[in-house]
Chains A and B, each alone.
Chain A
Amino acid sequence: MKTASGAFLLVLLAIAPAGAATVTNKDADTAILVVVEGESRMEIAVDAGGSESICPAGCFLTTPSGDRIGLQGDENVEIINGSAVVK
């Protein structure tokens, strides 16, 4: 069982928890997102099929469809048809 405990610790160390929210663009076109994080409002372009890590500590996202959503910082967001699907 010592082996088992060791293996457990190893696995604990090996699986690093995911930090920031990940945005993946599933559309065919580049998606322009407006991210408001802290004091700054910035535009982020996510290529078709690409993904991007944003806002580790919570932010607001404006999707190409014009919808605004709040993010806590640990979500996985997919851009489908210009609007966001949070998983």
Chain B
Amino acid sequence: MPPKFLVLLFSLGVALSVPTVFAQDAAAPVSATETAVGSAQSQASEQLNVARNELTRLTDLMQAEKSDDNRLSELKVDVDATAKKIIAISIATRPRLDEIKARLAELGDPPAENAPPEAEIVRQERERLIAERGEINALTGDAENLSIQATRLSNAITEIRRALFSNTLLQHTDINPDVLVNAGKALAIEGQALSRSLTSWVSFVWKYKRLSVLSALFLSLCAALLFLSGSYRVFSPLIRRDVKDPEPGYITRLSVAFWSTMIPTTAAGAFVLSSYFFLQSFNVLRADIAPIIAITLGVSVALLFVVTLANAVLAPGEGNWRLVRVSDVGARRLMVAIFAMTAVNSFDYLLGGISEAMGSPVVLTVVKSLFASVIIGLILMTLALIKPMVPAGAPLDGPGRPWPRFMSVLFVLTGGALIAAALAGYVGLARFIATQIVVTSAIMVTAYIGILTGKAVAKQNAFADTVVGRFLEKRYGMGQVSLDQSGLAAGLGIYALVILIFIPLILLQWGFKVADIQAGAYRLFTEIKIGSITISLVGIFAGILLFTIGFFMTRWFQRWLDGSVMARSRVDAGVRNSIKTGIGYLGVGLAGLVGISAAGLDLSSLALVAGALSLGVGFGLQNIVSNFVSGLILLVERPFKVGDWVVTGTTEGFVKRISVRATEIETFQHQSIMVPNSLFINASVGNWTHRNKLGRSDIPVVVGYDTAPRRVMDLLLEIAEAHPLVLRNPSPSAVFSAFGEATMTFELRVYVADIVNGGGVRNDLRLAIYERFRAEGIGSPFPKDVVEAVALEPVPEEPASLEVGLPAPEDAKPGATARRPRRVGVGTGGEPS
């Protein structure tokens, strides 16, 4: 029923603004001092008395409002709240009872008959405590009885509501000429009464409240216009049909249909709600007029809703905007039929409301509804005669074909059933069905269109083609991916909107009351019971939210510490990384704990999970856990840090990242290798840059026997000392390392400050050696006819990455030199590993 929508909106607002009274309020702390204790108990008993009076009041109210379903549903909420309060009151007495019990246990049992008597003071105290204990027990017994009474009352209300519902639906009235005559008489009386009260009210308002009415209307018009113009400005392309667009796309049609229904209806709702509110608060409405005004306003909004929706879906004037494939003529006729049905149904409710407000006999309402149901039934049956279907490919303005068989049968049967039910006397049922046909199907169609819109918007790349998408692209320069993601978000948002708005509306249609829906929604969010387990959605959301906040706080703190504090205090990069990662783990762990406790989850059951996990660790997760722990050890012990040049097993390269499970190593060819952390802990790891980057680089040199070895060594040293990157201390050295069959092998050992530069330095040195030896005539004594005799020819390079700096094997390339007896060469050993 439409006014309920208004009531829903309004009461939602009220419910949000009124702070909920929690049960804890009653659980006032009980002080240990005697006076405070006495007052706590008297307070509890006072509270119980209040609750008792409240229950009596509610019982009386229930008796009085036996026929008002709406009021009953609110009463039930109150009764349930009182029942909760009663339990809370008795819980508040528990600490004192525990104290008494503890003290009594200290005092011990009274002495037996033949035992020596105890001190008077002890006896008195025991008696006093026992009396108090009895008092508390009596109090709790009272609470117990009251609680039973409250539950009974609550159940009784449910029972009455159930009976009320089936009575309204299945109430039977005999339809005979007498009834019609009575109704006619009642109608005449009602008309007089209505015109009397209306004229008296209008003249009263005009004389005394003119300003109030005008300002109320003005204010609410302002509110509605503000909303309407604002939403038109924002959503304009979404609401208006673009006349120039000959072939509007499916999404465009859907969204125009959805929003052009939603926005005007919401604006009208806002107008109606605010004008009613202002009229009420300016005391313009009289008790007899208020319900009439309310139902008039509500019915108009409902009428507007159905008509705009039908217009949006059928688009009788513009065939290219039609959402369903029906002919032009068919659309126009359908539109008329829908309008007629809605108008009749609205009128029925309006007249029913007026009759109720005027206190007319029920028979009048019954007869009105009888006529309304019969008319709606007839319209439904005529719907079957419309020929709206258009075969695929045919133009929309051509002649239509009849409905498919099942549709026309459905129309005729429903219409017939309505008329039959009404004529048989089940007018309530007929009215209910007629309303469902008009309003519920309108709501469902809107919801369906909304869901279709959401689905279409959420489709890949669909959002970019919409007006909003194009606007976002132009205004904020969003890329394809982010547009796509916002499309998904928009689709989900539309789903949420549809569910939030339309499910309560449909529930209201089906006879649920606002209070029921509120209580249901509250329960849905705070406690979902599955067996003996209670899950609180709000709690879980709060937990996730807190975890997210904690997570981002950790991130922010990490960044701040790393970027602002540690970077400036010149902390070593490795330490920085370790601290950063450690703080990350710690923060996430803390956030997780906070989140779990906020979700209301019992941490003690975490022990159970941990137990199960440890079993899992034993079997399957062993490796992962060992890697994780190894990662922690790596962070603390720091055998290497990010940026170090490490060698483990067959992997060599720079450390890029030390993470939970594995360490990322980038080889010299820029291949990333993930080495499990446990490998670093369990195997030996070479680190070229552990304490410092100083390192030795060796260059083997092979020379023929015709040169004096001392001369070669002097030359080598000279060359080394001339290089700017070669350290003076430790000084470079040249050694005569091996005799070959036809050659001598020397080795030039130089120290460089940064071993990472070793390759370049070696390269420079080799070039210098070649040029110097050439100039000195060393190594070119062999005959020119030997093809290979290129003096000082370097042995072909190994891949640059592998030839850095490890000491050359003692007999560097003996084979090569043996096969080329007369060659003088400069070669490198430098094979790692």
Contact = CB atoms under 8 A, between A and B. Distances in A.
B547 interface: yes
A68 B148 contact: no
Given A1-B588, A19-B534, A67 B596 contact: no
20 contacts: A8-B547, A11-B596, A11-B609, A12-B543, A12-B544, A12-B599, A16-B535, A17-B539, A18-B533, A19-B533, A19-B534, A36-B148, A38-B151, A39-B148, A67-B97, A67-B101, A68-B144, A72-B23, A83-B101, A86-B98
B602 A70 contact: no
A58 interface: yes
B739 to A, nearest CB: 60
A5 B555 CA distance: 13
A4 to B, nearest CB: 4
Interface string A1-35: 10111011101101111111000000000000000
B602 A19 contact: no
A42 interface: no
Contact of B87 (A3, A4, A72, A85): A72
A17 B23 contact: no
Interface string B14-27: 00000000010000
B592 A69 contact: no
Given A19-B529, A19-B533, A5 B87 contact: no
A16 B584 contact: no
B22 to A, nearest CB: 12
A63 to B, nearest CB: 10
A59 B602 CA distance: 22
Contacts of A85: 98
B543 to A, nearest CB: 6
Contacts of A8: 547, 588, 591-592, 595-596
Contacts of B143: 60, 70
A16 B533 contact: yes
B768 interface: no
B98 to A, nearest CB: 8
A38 B84 CA distance: 11
Interface stretch (B133-141, B174-182, B446-454, B664-672): B133-141
Contacts of B549: none
Given A4-B588, A8-B547, A70 B605 contact: no
Interface string B123-156: 0000000000100010011011001100110010
Contact of A69 (B88, B94, B152, B544): B94
Assign chain B's interface to a size class.
Answer: 35 or more
Contacts of A5: 547, 551
B540 interface: yes
B88 A56 contact: no
Nearest to B145: A36
Nearest to A36: B144
A70 to B, nearest CB: 3
A17 B601 contact: yes
B595 A60 contact: no
Interface in B583-615: 584-585, 588, 591-592, 595-596, 599-603, 605-606, 609
Nearest to B589: A4
A77 to B, nearest CB: 11
Interface string B532-548: 11111001100110010
Contacts of A1: 551, 584, 588
Given A19-B529, A72-B87, A56 B534 contact: yes
Contacts of A50: none
Nearest to A18: B602
Nearest to B585: A4
B605 A11 contact: no
A56 B551 contact: no
A11 B660 CA distance: 19
A11 B603 CA distance: 10
Assign chain A's interface to a size class.
Answer: 35 or more
Given A11-B596, A20-B532, A71-B91, A58 B605 contact: no
A16 B606 CA distance: 9
Interface in B693-712: none
Contact of B147 (A7, A19, A36): A36
Contacts of A56: 529, 532, 534
B435 interface: no
A13 to B, nearest CB: 9
A11 B606 contact: yes
Interface string A45-87: 0000000010010111000001111111000000000010110
Contacts of A83: 101
Contacts of B89: 70
B160 to A, nearest CB: 16
Nearest to B534: A19
Nearest to A9: B544
Q: Which of A68, A72, A86 has the most CB of B within 10 A?
A: A68
A41 B236 CA distance: 64
B311 interface: no
Contacts of A70: 87-91, 93-94, 140, 143
A41 B148 CA distance: 9
B587 to A, nearest CB: 10
A15 B606 contact: yes
Contacts of B137: 66-68
Contacts of A14: 609
Q: Which of A14, A20, A41, A70 has the most CB of B within 10 A?
A: A70
A69 B543 contact: no
B551 A17 contact: no
B91 A72 contact: yes
Nearest to B86: A70
Contacts of A4: 551, 585, 588, 592
Nearest to B100: A67
Contacts of B133: 67
A79 to B, nearest CB: 13
A53 B84 contact: no
A45 B15 CA distance: 43
Contact of B601 (A7, A12, A60, A68): A12
Q: Which of A14, A15, A36 has the most CB of B within 10 A?
A: A15
Contacts of B152: 39
Given A1-B551, A39-B155, A17 B97 contact: no
A7 B625 CA distance: 14
Given A11-B609, A12-B596, A18-B602, A60 B94 contact: no
Contacts of B90: 60, 68-70
Contacts of A68: 90, 137, 140-141, 144
Given A39-B148, A60-B144, A70-B87, A15 B532 contact: no
A18 B533 CA distance: 6
A70 B148 CA distance: 13
Given A4-B592, A72-B87, A60 B97 contact: no
Interface in B489-545: 529, 531-536, 539-540, 543-544
Interface in B98-117: 98, 101
A11 B551 CA distance: 16
